[in-house]
Amino acid sequence: MDIKNVKDMFPVLDQEVNGHPLVYLDSAATSQKPLPVIEALGDYYRRYNSNVHRGVHTLGTMATEGYEGTREKVKTFIGAKRSEEIIFTRGTTTALNMVANSYGRANLSEGDEIVLTQMEHHSNIIPWQQVAKATGAKLHYIPMQNDGTITVEDARNTITDKTKIVAMGHVSNVLGTVNPIKEVTAIAHEHNAVTVVDGAQSVPHMKVDMQDLNCDFYAFSAHKMCGPTGIGVLYGKKKHLKQMEPFEFGGEMIDFVDLYESTWKELPWKFEGGTPIIAGAIGLGAAIDFLEDIGMDNITAHETKLTNYALERFSELEGLEVFGPEKRAGLITFNSEEVHPHDLATVLDADGIAVRAGHHCAQPLMKWLNVTATARASFYLYNTEEDIDKLVNGLSKAKEYFGDVFA
């Protein structure tokens, strides 16, 4: 499908909000869903709703094929070597907690170090704080440059032989910074440390290849990539997943249960306790087909064009501070000198324009930026230059309105 016509595939975008056509600029929080994904979910519930991996009846077999079929699609989509390396989780947050609790607690002890960056989403900070408290390990942060990037040299200076885990976002949800995962992973491996990558903001927008990055763990959420809420992925190298203990215990994940001892299924099922996220996986499979049909490189190119256009148009607005590096992923975080970000977002919403305001679950980064909140416009494949023109007009209007109020 041609990216130019893609907007027609998203029914939610075809509506008025507060008397204006909706302009959705909050895809970093969650993306909208195209018809094939909505239809795949409806089709499962209408035609073959059933539990998986048990029994031999026809609907159960169909559901199992749908669920396991998505595992194969994810494997190819991210360039994993084996389908056992793909674990379905509830989302990025759960995936990162799984690594921190299962890998972290077993492999960290007093004096060990965990290396992070200050631009992480809370879900890639707090699990490491908790595991550090439990094991006596220490957190260290790679310093940031003034433009909100990190250098490979600083990563080299922060990662030492004491480092056991380096956890880092691929793309910052606030700054749009794209981090040098491949280079940092190579440094981590020189010190026998593993890398845990938060891919929540990268997988939806760019081609990622586990063999090229060579990272040890990689986490992402379906709902930010045109898929449903409630499902995400933890990729892990087999050599690590194999020696890790399950994170949750119960049905589905066991091989044999006795009164005092039990054994686990093999990978990947030992990490998928309970009835799995069947509809979610089927929806994620449809989302991957949809994104691949358009082409990840086309999506990246479209977003780069939109972001550059938006940055150019933003430069016309006085008193607007844009955060983050010049070369960035498809989002722009900004503050107005006169108008609080929540007020900006409210005024824009009155014109049907959806942007996010707040700390974006990155309070340590807000501290570094010396602000308590910002506004953020984030783009996806269905956004257009016209959306950006409307945003810029809305921002000018907000400035005028609040300028008058405060005058």
Binding site for ligand 7TS (CB under 6 A): 28-29, 91-93, 121, 123, 169, 173, 198, 200-201, 221, 356, 360-361
Say whether 226 is catalytic.
Answer: no
Whose CA is closest to 162, among 112, 225, 121? 112
Name the token pair of 137: 């390990």
* DSSP structural state of residue 245: P
Which residue sits closest to ligand 7TS, CB atoms considered?
173
Report the alpha-carbon distance of residue 3 to residue 43 in Å, rounded.
25
Closer to ligand 7TS by CB, 63 or 168: give it: 168
Closer to ligand 7TS by CB, 169 or 324: give it: 169
Q: Write down the least CB distance from residue 29 to ligand 7TS, Å.
A: 3
- What are the residues whose beta carbons fall under 8 Å from the beta carbon of 208, sequence distance 6 or more? 78, 79, 170, 199, 202, 218
How would you list the strands of the sheet with 356-358, edge to edge?
Answer: 320-323, 331-336, 374-378, 356-358
Name the token pair of 124: 């890639």
Number of C-beta neighbours around residue 325 at 10 A? 16
Report the alpha-carbon distance of residue 83 to residue 125 in Å, rounded.
28
Closer to ligand 7TS by CB, 112 or 272: give it: 272
Active site residue: 25, 132, 159, 361, which one? 361
Closer to ligand 7TS by CB, 178 or 286: give it: 178
Q: Where are the alpha helices (DSSP H) in 117-214?
A: 126-135, 152-158, 181-190, 210-213
Q: Write down the least CB distance from residue 43 to ligand 7TS, Å.
A: 24
The 3-state DSSP class for residue 204 equals: coil
Residues β-bridged to residue 114: 139, 165
Whose tokens are 């390990």? That residue is: 137
Report the alpha-carbon distance of residue 49 to residue 62 in Å, rounded.
9
Report the alpha-carbon distance of residue 5 to residue 26 in Å, rounded.
20
Residues β-bridged to residue 167: 196
Closer to ligand 7TS by CB, 63 or 284: give it: 284
Q: Write down the least CB distance from residue 245 to ligand 7TS, Å.
A: 22
Report the alpha-carbon distance of residue 384 to residue 171 in Å, rounded.
22
Closer to ligand 7TS by CB, 63 or 287: give it: 287
Closer to ligand 7TS by CB, 122 or 162: give it: 122
Q: Write down the least CB distance from residue 405 to ligand 7TS, Å.
A: 28
Q: Write down the least CB distance from residue 331 to ligand 7TS, Å.
A: 9
Q: Write down the least CB distance from residue 279 to ligand 7TS, Å.
A: 17
User: Angle, to 10 degrees, between the axis of helix 58-78 and the axis of helix 278-294?
Assistant: 40
Q: Write down the least CB distance from residue 263 to ligand 7TS, Å.
A: 30
Q: Write down the least CB distance from residue 322 to ligand 7TS, Å.
A: 17
Number of H helices, E strands in the chain: 14, 17
Report the alpha-carbon distance of residue 233 to residue 96 in Å, rounded.
10
- What are the residues whose beta carbons fall under 8 Å from the beta carbon of 191, sequence distance 6 or more? 159, 160, 161, 163
CA 131, distance to chain mean position in Å, is 22
What is the set of active-site residues?
361
